[in-house]
Amino acid sequence: MEALVAGFSYYGGYWNNPSGEVARRLDGVVVEGLRVRGLVLPVSFRAVKAVLREALYTTRPIVVIGLGLNPATHTVDVELVAVNRAFFTQPDIEGYVANYEAIDSEGPLVAYTTLPVQEILEECRVKRGLPVKPSLHTGLYLCNTAAYLIMRYGLESKALAGFIHLPPSTINYLRKETSHGIPLQELIESTECILEVSAKKAKNT
């Protein structure tokens, strides 16, 4: 049995994307009996859809967590919902811009997380004091694209699947890419806690 953690590579002025770094650090780790596969996605609308779909539907992980960077947040945000639309004027790495187009022409408008959010908050936020909270801010850029594909997979496959927005790391802050940052190790611990709670739930259902 396998878990998938997918983050993003660099984009814009963020040459050290903590979402990709966390995915790399967790690659090969075993959490509650599940071997974690870490995947780093390019910031490309076309590639995200192709690479993520292949990773999901060929390996069929029972827990999936997508990770993305939100430079504005100060917390680890567990997203509750994603929408089947892409709209962005900042080009991706291939120069592509999306004008309110469907991510999946055959998919529903909305997909919801299947992660055990209440249990995650109890364990990670309340018991361990990690900066984890629920959120409704996937946006319409590639984080939402990944979130929608992951959440839809969770609903279709009865897997525990969702998306987490990470704040900048202290590396971003020290590189003067952001005005704040959280230590990368704390981001790893928060993601690992969410994985742990989800893996326990998956094994008991």
Distance between the two ends of the chain, CA-based, in angstroms? 14
Q: Which of 21, 123, 124, 143 is catalytic?
A: 143
- 14 by Cβ neighbours in 10 Å (0-12 / 13-18 / 19+) ranks as buried
CATH code of 2-203, in short, is 3.40.630.20
Q: Tell me if residue 36 falls in helix, strand or coil.
A: strand
pLDDT tens per residue, range 187-201: 999 999 999 999 999
pLDDT tens per residue, range 120-133: 999 999 999 999 99
Q: Which of 21, 123, 124, 165 is catalytic?
A: 165
Query: What is the mean predicted confidence (pLDDT) over 105-128?
Result: 97
Residue 189 Cα to chain centre, angstroms = 15
Could you tell me the pLDDT band of residue 204, with boundaries at 50, 70 and 90?
confident
The secondary structure element, H or E, covering residue 160 is strand 160-166
In this predicted structure, the answer to whether residue 205 has a pLDDT above a threshold of 80 is no
pLDDT tens per residue, range 6-36: 999 998 888 889 999 999 999 999 999 999 9
**Residue pair 111/162 in contact by the 8 Å Cβ criterion:** no
What single-letter DSSP state applies at residue 99?
Answer: E
Cα(130)–Cα(75) distance, rounded to whole angstroms? Answer: 9
Q: Which of 21, 79, 123, 192 is catalytic?
A: 79
For residue 75, how many other CB atoms are within 10 A of its CB? Answer: 18
Could you tell me the pLDDT band of residue 203, with boundaries at 50, 70 and 90?
confident
CA angle 99, 113, 37 (to 5 degrees): 95
**Catalytic residue list contains 165:** yes
For residue 171, how many other CB atoms are within 10 A of its CB? Answer: 18
Domain spans of the chain, in order of start = 2-203
Could you tell me the pLDDT band of residue 177, with boundaries at 50, 70 and 90?
very high
**Catalytic residue list contains 143:** yes
pLDDT tens per residue, range 57-82: 999 999 999 999 999 999 999 999 99
Could you tell me the pLDDT band of residue 5, with boundaries at 50, 70 and 90?
very high
pLDDT (0 to 100) of residue 83: 98
pTM (predicted TM-score): 0.97
Asked whether the CA dihedral 9, 28, 167, 150 is positive or negative, the reply is positive
pLDDT (0 to 100) of residue 1: 85
